[in-house]
C-alpha cells in the first residue's frame, strides 16, 4: 500500500490494490463524475461489471453462495476510496443489498438476481432502517423492546403476507431493482420476530422517494402499501430475519472501516503534497512544526486504523468466534480517524479546501455518514463494552 503498512499483504494482494487504483483513475472516476449526484449511476456499475470488480465482490462458486474474503473486500473498498468514493460506494451498496440473497436465498433467487448484479445490470438495496428504529434496529439483539414497525400481515393464506409501512435512509432507493427487506412477522418478539424478504421493485404497492442528503450517493425512502410477498420471497426462515441482517453486517462492518481508511489516506496524500509545496512564513508549510506534527498524527492514526481493519477482516476469514467486538473496534476507530484526518487536512489547506469541487470539500461531506450507518459509533462502543464482559 502507499502508506508503507507493515501488514503482510501478499504480492498478489498488493498488485490487486494497485490495479484497482489504476482502474479507478483511468476509467471509473470519469464515469462517477458524469453521474447525477444522488442517483444510481448505472453506467458506473456496468463498467465495474465489465472490469470484473463485482465478480470479485461475489465469487459465486458452483451454487452462487461463495462469499468474498473479508480482507479482499477491505482491500477493494480501500483502494477504490483512495481514488473515487462514488465508485467505492456504488460497489459496496451492491454487496450490502445482495449478500442477504447470497447467504440465505433460494437457488431460484440466486439464479435470477446474482448474474445481473455481477454484470452491473441490476441494482440492489438493503432495507433495514426505519423512522423509529435507525441505530436501534441494529441493537435488537441487545434489547427486548421491538423497534421494527414495518409489519407483514397474514393475507388469508399460510403462504403469504402483505407488507405495510416504510423504510428510510435506504441507499439506492427508490431506484433499486430489488430490496432485501426486514419486516416484523411476530409482534412483541424483539429480534426473534423479524423476517427477511426479497422484494422486487415492480411489486404492486411498493413506492418511494429520493432524500436530499449531504452525501452524493443515492438514498431514499421506501413505502409499502400492502405489498404482497410469499414464502418464495423469504430470505432464510420466518422470524429469523435479524440473523440474516447481522450476518451481512458482520461481513461488511470491517470494510466500512476500510472505506474510511481509504478516504483518510486520500486526505493525507493531498496534505503531504500541499504542505510540501505551499510557501508561507518564509518557507514551505511542512517545515512548520505545527504542520509536520499534524501530518505525523494523521499518518499514525491511519496506520493504526488500517491494521485494526485488516486484523478484524482476517479474524472473520479464519472463522474466529465472537468477532463482533473486533469488528466494532475496526469500524469505530477507522471512521472516527477518517473524520479527524479529513478535518485536519482541511485545516492544512485552508479556505481553498472548502470550495465546491475541491477533493477535501468532497471528502468532508462523505466522511460524516460512516460514523452513523451500519451501526453508529455509539452502538459500536456498546458492542465493545458488552464483549468485555463476555464469559
CA gap 20, 54 in Å, rounded: 12
Cβ distance 271 to 344 under 8 Å? Answer: yes
CA gap 20, 73 in Å, rounded: 12
CA gap 239, 183 in Å, rounded: 9
Nearest Cα residue to 238 out of 197, 181, 279, 288: 197
How many CB atoms neighbour CB 157 within 10 A? Answer: 10
Q: What is the DSSP string of 264-312?
A: HHHHHHHHHHHHHH-EETTEEGGGSHHHHHHHHHHHHHHHHHHHHHHHH
Catalytic residue among 361, 374, 378, 387: 374
Q: Report how far apart, in Å, the C-alpha atoms of 193 and of each of 11, 32, 95, 241 are.
A: 46, 40, 25, 8
279 is catalytic: no
Backbone angles phi, psi at 21, to 5 degrees: -65, -40
Cβ distance 183 to 151 under 8 Å? Answer: yes
C-alpha cell at 292: 509536520
For 72-102, b where at least 16 C-beta lie within 10 A, e where not — what string?
A: bbbbbbbbbbbbbbbbbbbbbbbbbbbbbbb
CA gap 102, 73 in Å, rounded: 15
Peptide bond between residue 227 and the one before it cis (omega within 30 degrees of 0): no
Task: Report the residue count for the chain.
Answer: 391
Q: Which residues are catalytic?
A: 374
Amino acid at each position: 500500500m502507499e502508506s508503507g503498512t507493515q501488514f503482510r499483504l501478499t504480492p498478489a494482494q498488493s498488485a490487486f490494490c494497485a490495479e484497482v487504483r489504476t482502474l479507478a483513475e483511468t476509467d471509473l472516476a470519469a464515469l462517477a463524475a458524469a453521474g447525477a449526484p444522488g442517483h444510481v449511476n448505472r453506467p458506473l456499475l456496468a463498467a465495474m461489471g465489465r472490469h470484473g470488480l463485482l465478480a470479485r465482490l461475489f465469487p459465486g462458486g458452483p451454487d452462487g453462495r461463495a462469499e468474498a474474503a473479508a480482507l479482499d473486500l477491505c482491500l477493494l473498498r480501500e483502494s477504490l476510496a483512495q481514488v473515487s468514493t462514488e465508485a467505492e460506494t456504488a460497489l459496496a451498496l451492491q454487496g450490502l443489498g445482495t449478500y442477504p440473497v447470497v447467504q440465505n436465498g433460494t437457488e431460484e433467487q440466486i439464479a435470477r438476481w446474482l448474474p445481473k448484479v455481477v454484470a452491473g445490470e441490476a441494482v440492489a438495496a438493503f432495507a433495514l432502517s426505519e423512522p423509529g428504529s435507525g441505530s436501534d434496529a441494529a441493537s435488537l439483539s441487545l434489547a427486548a423492546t421491538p423497534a421494527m414497525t414495518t409489519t407483514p400481515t397474514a393475507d388469508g393464506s399460510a403462504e403469504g403476507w402483505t407488507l405495510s409501512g416504510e423504510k428510510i435512509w435506504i441507499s439506492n432507493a427508490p431506484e433499486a431493482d430489488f430490496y432485501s427487506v426486514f419486516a416484523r412477522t411476530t409482534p412483541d418478539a424483539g429480534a426473534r420476530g423479524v423476517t427477511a424478504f426479497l422484494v422486487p421493485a415492480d411489486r404492486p404497492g411498493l413506492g418511494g422517494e429520493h432524500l436530499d442528503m449531504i452525501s452524493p450517493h443515492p438514498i431514499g425512502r421506501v413505502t409499502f402499501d400492502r405489498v404482497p410477498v410469499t414464502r418464495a420471497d423469504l430470505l432464510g426462515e420466518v422470524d429469523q430475519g435479524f440473523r440474516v441482517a447481522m450476518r451481512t453486517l458482520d461481513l461488511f462492518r470491517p470494510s466500512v472501516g476500510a472505506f474510511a481508511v481509504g478516504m483518510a489516506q486520500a486526505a493525507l496524500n493531498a496534505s503531504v503534497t500541499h504542505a510540501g509545496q505551499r510557501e508561507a512564513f518564509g518557507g514551505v508549510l511542512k517545515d512548520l512544526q505545527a504542520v509536520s506534527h499534524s501530518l505525523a498524527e494523521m499518518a499514525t492514526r491511519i496506520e493504526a486504523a488500517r491494521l485494526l481493519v485488516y486484523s478484524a477482516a482476517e479474524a472473520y476469514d479464519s472463522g474466529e468466534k465472537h468477532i463482533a467486538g473486533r469488528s466494532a473496534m475496526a469500524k469505530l476507530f477507522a471512521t472516527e480517524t477518517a473524520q479527524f484526518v479529513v478535518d485536519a487536512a482541511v485545516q492544512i489547506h485552508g479556505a481553498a479546501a472548502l470550495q465546491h469541487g475541491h477533493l477535501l470539500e468532497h471528502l468532508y461531506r462523505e466522511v460524516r455518514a460512516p460514523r452513523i450507518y451500519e451501526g453508529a459509533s455509539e452502538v459500536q462502543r456498546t458492542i465493545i463494552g458488552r464483549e468485555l464482559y463476555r464469559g
